[in-house]
Each structure stands twice: as C-alpha cells, then as structure tokens.
Amino acid sequence: MDFLTQLDISTALRSIFLYNPGAPLIFTRFFFWGFFAVVLLGYSLVYKNKNRSIRAGYLFALSVFFYYKSSGFFFFLMLFSIVLDYFIGKGIYNSQNSTKRKFLLALSVFLNLLVLAYFKYSYFFVDSLNFLFDTDFKVVNHLAKAANDTIGTHFDIDRILLPVGISFYTFQTISYSVDVYRGDTQPVKNLIDYGFFVSFFPQLVAGPIMRASGFIKQIYDDFSVSKAEFGWAIFMILKGLIKKIFIGDYIAVNFVDRVFSNPVSYTGFENLMALFGYSLQVYVDFSGYTDIAIGVALLMGFRLPQNFNSPYKAKNVSDFWKRWHMSLSSWLKDYLYITIGGNRNGSVFSYVSLLIIMAIVVLLAGKMILVPVFAAFIIAFAILMRYFPGFKRNVDTNINLMLTMLLGGLWHGASLNFIIWGGLNGIGLVVYKFWRKISPWEAYNNWLVTIWKIAVTFTFITFTRVFFRSESITIAKDMLKQIGTAFKLSVIPDVLIAYKWVFAVMAFGFVIHWLSYGFKKKIEDWFIATPIWAKAVIAAAVVIVVYQSISSDMQAFIYFQF
C-alpha cells in the first residue's frame, strides 16, 4: 500500500470518527443516514435479546458517539449529568427519610441548573458584574483550563461554547429526579439503562423532551413495529426532510436570512414577508426535526411523544401553546407552573422571581433609568392589590402564567429579545383569559369566524417572533419601523417576481399546513398502504427532489442553539 493510499484511508477514518465543528452530525447530512444504517445493522443482532440492558447499552454507546460527532468533547458533560442524576434518583427512591429525599431532589435541580447556567448564562453574569461595579472581568472557560492543565489539551479558555442540546437533556434529567421523588415512575434498573434514556440519539439534541414515566417502560418492552408503523415511520422521515430542507432551508437562505441581516435595506413589504416567512421556517425546521426523530426512533421500536399539532391552526394564543413544542409546554406546566401555584395563587417564589426578572431586564438593557420605572410599577400594583381585592385576585391567578412564559423566554437564552418575546406571549395568554369571558364570538365556530380567529392568532404569534429571530433589539425595531413606514405598495409586483420561487415555496408550506386533518390522513394512509417497492420509489424521488433544492451548505436546525 503506497503512502497516498494510506493517507486517503487515514483522512477517511478521521472524517468518520473525529468531530468536525464545520460538519456536525445532523439528520440532513448523508453521513447521518450512513450512521443510521450501521446502527440498524448492529441493532438487528441485539434487539431481541432478553437482557434489555444489552440493547440499551448498544444504543447508549452509539448515542454517545452521535453526540460526540454533534458537539465534540461536550459528551463528557452529558455523561457527568447521567452519572449524577442516576445516583441521585436511586438515593431518592431508596430513602425513607423525607428530609433526605427533599435534599437530594434539590441537589439534582441545583447542580443541573448550575451546569446549564455556566454554559448558557456566564456571559450575562460577567457583563452584569462589569455593568454594576464598573469592573473589567473577562469570561474564562474554567473547565477548558482544567483540562489543559491536567491532561495537556489545547482548548480555547477565552470562550464558553454552548453544548448542543444541553437545555433539552438537562430538563430531561431534572424531570426524572422529580418523577422518582413524586412516585410517578420507578427508577431504571442500572446506569446503562439510564444513560440510554437520557442520550437516545434521535431526540437528544432538540427534543422532544421525554418524560421518564413515558419512556423508561419502553426500555424493558419487547421490540414491536408493525407493518403500518414501519410505513408511518418512513412517511414521517420523508415529511421531515421536505419540511426542513425543501421549505425551511430554501426560504431561509434565499430570502428570510437576508432581510433579517439588514432590514433597512428592504421595503416594508419585504420585511413583512420575511417575518411571515420566518414563522413558517421556524415551524418546518423544528417540527421537521421532530418528525425525523419520531420516525427514526420508531424504526428501532421506540415511541416518542408528539411535539407539534398544526400550531398555526390555533384559534387563540392558549390553543397555540397547547399545539407548539408540546413537550416543553407540558414540561413547564407540570414542573414549573403547577409547582409554583398554577392559577390558584401567587407565591413568595412567584413575586421574588418576577423581581429577579425585572433586575435581569435592567442589566440586559444596561439602563438604570428602568429601576425607578419598575419601582413605580411595583408600588402602583401594591396599592391596587391592597385596596382592590378583585385586582389582587386577578394578579394572583395570572402572575404564575406570566412568570412561566418569561422563564420560558429566558430558557432560550439570556437576551432582552427572548424576555420580550416570552413577555408578549404571556400578555397574550392573560389577555385572552379575560377576552374569552366577554367575546361575542367565542362560542361561534362557523368557517368565517374560525378563519378570523386563526388569522389573528397567527399574526400575533408572527409579530412576537421579530424579537425571537432578531439578533438585537435594534434589528427588531428596524424591521418593525420598515413595516410601519416603508411599506411601498408600488414595489410589491416587482418583489413578487424577484422572489417568485421563494414565495411559491412559502405558499406550498402554508397550504400544506392548513390542509384539513382528514385530507392529510388520507395521504398518510395511502403511503402506508403502498407496497414496499412503491415506498422505496417514492422515498428515492423525494430524496432526489429535496437534496436538489439545496442552494448552500447544510443548515443546522434552529433549536440546536438552545
């Protein structure tokens, strides 16, 4: 074997087994499907083994490799979380001492959130200290420094990178400890099974967030995938690829990203269409990932929970949040909203948390003038709550809802934009609670009223997303200003012609989304009923068309950054 051949083999092996930051392992890369083929090949040898831990161990090992290829050496961080919460959960279950159980639960929540905060909010904390005390502290990656000092690595200690999917698996490990504490689930039998539960690669980096009570039982069940389920799994994978690449990536690269990068260079109409385009993009991107994850998991005999239910068919904001990112919405409801009092009453925690969020807003905005503004707001509310019992009752029953949405915004990142986005959705939910009591149309569901409700809800949700998508408040303000002041009707025909294919793909995406459930079910059932050769032909045709639509390098899934 000559030197060049050896070099080629070495390069190929390195590309297969070593992490490449420029080409992470994502569902839309051909490398993933090669990886998945290898997974299925090995899985065919172990999936029927009576010792379920062998099956779990096999998938755990490959899931760790998947995470390494997606996020590099951060897989050690995930392993730390796995070991930590496995033994804490075991301690909670085995202990009969109420105080010890509460301490272990608090320890699990504290340590998990501490790790999450370190990677996700370090820059915010350091910037806040510098703002408050006129200091000049710099962010230092202490974990990278420790690795460099102890084992001679050469990690960059001046930056803290966010591990892919850390928010998702952190919530998953916390829910396990809480469920074991509450008695909602039995703990897993061993560390391997728990590692598999946390790291299962289809849903690892962007959800859906799995509940221990809904997944652990599946670890010990016999493998079972019916012919109909097999067809449905393939259908979900193909649907996800169409959503993500053919619709989401195409409109993002060719229109949406361009406008959001410099909104003042575009007319109000273009900004408006980019805003509605992003609303479509974020849905097809995230739900497309979920569709593929559900399909891939089902081919291995595991059922993941539904994460989206045609959210843009929602008739009000409350209905929207029951349909959008359902695993996170239900997680926040069960582990945060209800825990802090739900709609029963505001707790000390509720009011203290709201004060903390106000302080965070001041720090993120960098404007101390907000302090007296918030102080006046608090005093006014305190007076009204003191002398008007009805007002106090309304605040008490809605503060936890508002707080949950604000914290949901912060979950996405320490940014004023995300807090505004969460706050606007919280206000939307609170306003709807009062509106539905007096609305003359609430009881009407004829087609005209339904279209009106859906249009109003979709438009509201879309406009809140200007803060979710924009990289700064300035860009969000520029976009809204362009829509409000530079909406030139005369240029609309030219814009429609210039971006005809983008708008055609957008129209295709919205039409598909708003088709009736019955019609879409017929298409699904038809595909499932086709013979295997027909499925193969359809799959090949979809793959060819989808990958021919790519106009730039593969785009990472939007929720990887959270």
Residues 6 or more apart whose CB falls under 8 angstroms from that of 7 comprise none
Instruction: Please report, as a single letter, which amino acid is at residue 402.
Output: M
161 and 321 in contact (C-beta within 8 Å)? Answer: no
Residue-level length of the chain: 562
Q: Is 310 exposed, middle or buried (0-12, 13-18, 19+ CB in 10 A)?
A: middle
Q: Is 161 exposed, middle or buried (0-12, 13-18, 19+ CB in 10 A)?
A: middle
- What is the rounded distance in angstroms from the CA atom of residue 379 to the CA atom of residue 135? 32
Asked whether the CA dihedral 137, 141, 143, 145 is positive or negative, the reply is negative
- What is the rounded distance in angstroms from the CA atom of residue 449 to the CA atom of residue 395? 31
- What is the rounded distance in angstroms from the CA atom of residue 256 to the CA atom of residue 265? 13
CA 494 to each of CA 65, 272, 426, 499: distance values in angstroms, whole numbers, following the listed order? 49, 15, 38, 9
- What is the rounded distance in angstroms from the CA atom of residue 203 to the CA atom of residue 27? 11
**Residue 306 DSSP symbol:** P
165 and 208 in contact (C-beta within 8 Å)? Answer: no
Listing DSSP states for 468-511 in one string gives HH-SSHHHHHHHHHHHHH---GGGHHHHHHHTHHHHHHHHHHHH
- What is the rounded distance in angstroms from the CA atom of residue 308 to the CA atom of residue 283? 9
Closest CA to 170 of 95, 118, 241, 230: 118
Tokens (6 digits) for 392? 């106090």
Helix extents (H) in 267-347: 268-299, 317-323, 326-332
Choosing from 142, 154, 325, 412, the catalytic residue is 412
Is 412 known to be catalytic? yes
Listing DSSP states for 526-542 in one string gives HHHHS-HHHHHHHHHHH
Q: Is the peptide bond before 493 cis (omega within 30 degrees of 0)?
A: no
Closest CA to 57 of 43, 67, 70: 43
- What is the rounded distance in angstroms from the CA atom of residue 272 to the CA atom of residue 259? 10
- What is the rounded distance in angstroms from the CA atom of residue 432 to the CA atom of residue 426? 10
Listing DSSP states for 410-464 in one string gives HHH-S-HHHHHHHHHHHHHHHHHHHHHHH-TTTT--SHHHHHHHHHHHHHHHHHH
Rounded to the nearest 10 degrees, what angle do helices 416-438 and 389-412 cross at? Answer: 140
- What is the rounded distance in angstroms from the CA atom of residue 232 to the CA atom of residue 297? 12
**Across the chain, how many H-helices and E-strands are there?**
25, 0
Residue numbers annotated as active site? 412
